Chains A and B, each alone.
Chain A
Amino acid sequence: MDEVLLRRLTPDVLAVLVRRGADFAAAEDAVQDALIEALRVWPADAPRDAKGWLITVAWRKFLDATRADAARRRREDRVEEEPPPGPAPSADDTLRLYFLCAHPSLTPASAVALTLRAVGGLTTRQIARAYLVPEATMAQRISRAKRTVSGVRFDRPGDVATVLRVLYLVFNEGYSGDVDLAAEAIRLTRQLATAVDHPEVAGLLALMLLHHARRAARTAPDGSLVPLAEQDRGRWDTRLITEGVGVLQAALARDRLGEFQAQAAIAALHADAPTAEETDWPQIVEWYDELARLTDSPVVRLNRAVAVGEADGPRAGLAALAGLDPSLPRHTAAAAYLHERAGDAATAARLYAEAAHKASNLAERDHLTRQAARLNTRGARSR
């Protein structure tokens, strides 16, 4: 059974139920029940009209739940099972769902969970596993999120930027549990791009495609991190790169630059270099300048300093770094790298060890520890 196809139908089915008058929270529960039933039944007996099947079953689940509620208050006869089919769900319906699930009243974690379930069609269990929390906790997180947005009117458009931030968070979670969240984020961003014509949606899609293209090269067989400069570029996915560059160029042509387009442009320049040495660093620095203007983010300025180090030499990079807050994440790691390039192995080794101590994730800590060890043992041998 094609689980991705099943998930792709989720927002449409949900939109149909909401159109028929079901409130969002109840409709979402009903769609989830229908998806779980599909996962159970379809492997043995797949319907010809998958969407029709889902709508019928979800509507029945909704009626059952409503009736169970109503039965507590009064006994009643069977209600009409199948209302006349409404108009087919439109791109606007899908878009509204994205806005609702990323509503600014939600915390980022709640928006991510609700988006993955209501738009992505993932089960609560899958989302719980992906984020390494108990299923009961995730179920509560989702139902709280639904309560939070229950008063939000479903017909008003929101800010596409909030939706993009949620999708970006999902993408960055990468691969965990039995769900490939990066691939899921790409799927949802693609779907969004068909529903709304917005250069930043395209920018985010391009960014994701270009980064996803490097995935196979990003980790060694033992799971350790491979830095960009050392990646086997033959293992980059050229099909994804071509697509990403195409999407980006079309977006840039609209002349409404945004941060995701700028980030994608940097990723595209890396993708364009046949070897690390041939990277167009001056142009990357220019894009970082652009990005700094758009976001005013200290993390961007940190990345810019590293790029300056490649374009104009490590001393220039260290000078750019000197103006930044040393408590920034990865500041020490960047300093270590630039000092090594400047020929000061002892300082670099000390800073790599310090950066490892400060790292917030395992793969990065191990990578930085190895860098320190490499320099320390090389020093010992030469002495």
Chain B
Amino acid sequence: MAKYLLLKHYRGAPDPVNDVPMDQWTPEEISAHMRYMHDFAARLEKTGEFVDGQALAPEGEWVRYDGEGRPPVTDGPFAETKDLIAGWMIIDVDSHERAVELAGELSAAPGAGGKPIHEWLEVRPFLTASPGVTECH
């Protein structure tokens, strides 16, 4: 088993095929989209492959250490930031092929006109915590 992160971007991913911003969908289309996402997660829980799913607010800021005894420096948000992550789903699957298959299904969530968005999702394997015990001679 291996864990994969399916990353969804507000910004920074290549343009989807069905590229209409959500605020221009009909309310029914939005509901259908939400239902699809919910059902997808529920189905993965049933197959024993679901680990986590979270959404992120688009607002955020940069923070860094500014030296002993000083408060951290904050900056931003930067409008020009290339990448803006919208959320993720973590899955635990038997193979890389299965991870790609599931990402494909998630990307088929309906958007404007009830048609699949064909949204680009980033699929990233987790680094496992420990090496296989018997593999290092």
Residues of chain A touching chain B, judged by Cβ–Cβ distance below 8 Å, are 107-110, 112-113, 131-134, 136-138, 140-142, 144, 168, 171-176, 182, 207-208, 211-212, 215, 225, 227-228, 263, 266-267, 270, 299, 303, 306-307, 330, 359-365
Contact = CB atoms under 8 A, between A and B. Distances in A.
A131 B1 contact: yes
B137 A182 contact: no
Interface string B50-83: 1110000000000000000000000000000000
A347 B130 CA distance: 27
Interface stretch (B26-34, B41-49, B108-116): B41-49
Interface of B: 1, 3, 44-52, 92, 94, 125, 127-137
Contacts of A141: 47-49
B127 A360 contact: yes
B127 A171 contact: no
Instruction: Give the dominant DSSP class at A's interface.
Output: helix
A137 B48 contact: yes
A228 B128 contact: no
- Report, nearest first, the 4 A-B pairs whose CB atoms are least far apart: A141-B48, A361-B128, A109-B1, A172-B132
Nearest to A174: B130
B53 to A, nearest CB: 11
Nearest to B98: A107
A132 B3 contact: yes
Nearest to A264: B134
B51 to A, nearest CB: 5
Contacts of A171: 133-134
Given A144-B47, A207-B134, A303-B137, A108 B1 contact: yes
Given A134-B45, A359-B127, A361-B129, 15 more contacts: A131-B92, A132-B92, A133-B50, A134-B50, A137-B45, A137-B92, A138-B48, A141-B47, A142-B48, A173-B130, A174-B130, A227-B136, A267-B134, A270-B137, A360-B128
18 contacts: A109-B94, A110-B48, A112-B1, A131-B92, A132-B92, A133-B50, A137-B51, A140-B46, A173-B130, A174-B133, A215-B133, A303-B137, A360-B128, A361-B127, A361-B131, A362-B127, A362-B128, A363-B129
